[in-house]
Amino acid sequence: MKFQDYYQTLEVGRTATADEIKRSYRRLAKEWHPDRHPPAKRKAAEERFKAIAEAWEVLSDPEKRKRYDQLGEHWRHGQDFAPPPGESGPFRNVSPEEFMRMFGGAGGGARGGGAGGGFSDFFAQMFGDLFQKQGQGGGGGPFAFGGAPGGGRRAGQRGADVEASLELTVGEALLGGKKSLALQASVPCEQCDGEGRLERHVCPACGGLGQQRRDKTVDLTIPKDVRNGQVLRLRGLGEPGDAGAGDLLLQIELVADDVYRLRGEDVEADVVIAPWEALAGAKVEVQVPGGVATARIPAGARAGSRLRLRGQGLVKDDGGRGDLLLVVRHGLPETLTPRQQELLAELAREGGVVRGGAARG
């Protein structure tokens, strides 16, 4: 078990007054509240916030601070530490499961398990007996989650909006349909019912946040007017709050796929035909927004030539639609008959070398 230097965590000296500890806690709690950090850094911010809450729980309570100070100044943060065994002395060893039962939650450990993370094992070993005593009617630290010691949660507050980006292929945006996306959503903490505290103490399961992160899958219906850079608002999928959850703001980023790609305000797509279709001309059915269109490939169409289907691209900023540009590619059937192979061999003997694309000359 590692020693936790709560004074270092709250950035105060060991002789700090109660007011100095309170001021430093308020400053750090505001700085490291997860809602103030982008999604990519939110998990690290949550861990720091929980450590700050744990340090405040100890140093704001005279009895816990006195017990903690009895360890002396010779311990350094992260140093291996083992409290005295047995029930004698200022320490009482408890298991993480027992600590959670004392604290009003289910078993599962002070960190991880069913609790979803919380106070450190160091805290549970040192102060588990105090929570048992205080849970039977005693006093306790003055912390109440809500941004300031001694104050309750602000009622009627809507949850914060959450920003994220979503990659869609150009084909998905053009043809529509549904897109499943996995999110990490915040849900009210099961241990404290979203209060952030149990009795008068910081909840060990959520570290005073009142929330826990959970994986969630959302099936998004792709809007017909979706475009690159657009922000979609998914209501109620943001952070939870007393007056309802905030919204999830998804910024759309369109990326090319094997067939479709952006060309300015238009969409470019490949259409593959056989050499004999290129020679005689052909009709090809093409998927377009809302259905299927027939494209007429003229006789003698060369590989790389383009056909324009007007108004069959993506919606533009002005509300109109761009065009769908079909790029002719030549291909062969996946399986050739012996006769086709024979004819191709004869063409190879009769014809010259064909070059195009990156191969020139």
Long-range contacts of 230-233 (CB under 8 A, 24+ apart): 232/166
Q: What is the pLDDT of residue 157?
A: 74
Q: What is the pLDDT of residue 72?
A: 53
Lowest-pLDDT choice from 46-55, 151-160, 302-311: 151-160
Q: How confident is the model at residue 254 (pLDDT cuts 50, 70, 90)?
A: very high
Q: How confident is the model at residue 267 (pLDDT cuts 50, 70, 90)?
A: very high
* pLDDT of 142 strictly over 50: no
Question: Rounded to whole angstroms, what are the CA distances from 78 to 6, 117, 345?
Answer: 11, 19, 75
* pLDDT of 161 strictly over 50: yes
Domains and CATH numbers, the chain: 6-134 (1.10.287.110), 162-255 (2.60.260.20), 260-350 (2.60.260.20)
Lowest-pLDDT choice from 71-75, 95-99, 167-171, 278-282: 95-99
Q: How confident is the model at residue 140 (pLDDT cuts 50, 70, 90)?
A: very low
**Residue with the larger pLDDT of the pair 242 and 31:** 31
Q: What is the pLDDT of residue 156?
A: 61
| 196 φψ region: left (φ > 0), alpha (ψ -120 to 50), beta (else) | left
Tokens of 6: 């709560």
Lowest-pLDDT choice from 25-39, 68-82, 140-154: 140-154
Cα–Cα–Cα angle for 141, 145, 151, nearest 5°?
Answer: 75
3-state helix, strand, coil in the chain (%, to 5): 30, 25, 50
Q: How confident is the model at residue 154 (pLDDT cuts 50, 70, 90)?
A: very low
The reported pTM is 0.52
Q: Confirm if 83 and 126 have CB atoms less than 8 A apart.
A: yes
Q: What is the 3-state secondary structure (H, E, C) of 273-316?
A: ECHHHHHHCEEEEEEECCEEEEEEECCCCCCCCEEEECCCCCEC
Compute the average pLDDT of residues 346-361. Answer: 73
* pLDDT of 190 strictly over 60: yes
Lowest-pLDDT choice from 37-41, 107-111, 153-157: 107-111
Q: What is the pLDDT of residue 30?
A: 82
Tokens of 252: 């759309």
**Residue with the larger pLDDT of the pair 185 and 348:** 348
* pLDDT of 346 strictly over 60: yes
* Partners of 211 in the β-ladder: 188
Q: What is the pLDDT of residue 75?
A: 47
pLDDT tens for residues 212-237? Answer: 777 778 888 999 889 898 999 988 88
Q: What is the pLDDT of residue 115?
A: 33
Q: What is the pLDDT of residue 292?
A: 92
* pLDDT of 95 strictly over 60: no
Q: How confident is the model at residue 135 (pLDDT cuts 50, 70, 90)?
A: very low
Return the percentage of the chain with pLDDT > 70, whole number: 73
pLDDT tens for residues 17-34? Answer: 999 998 998 889 888 887
Tokens of 169: 């292929």
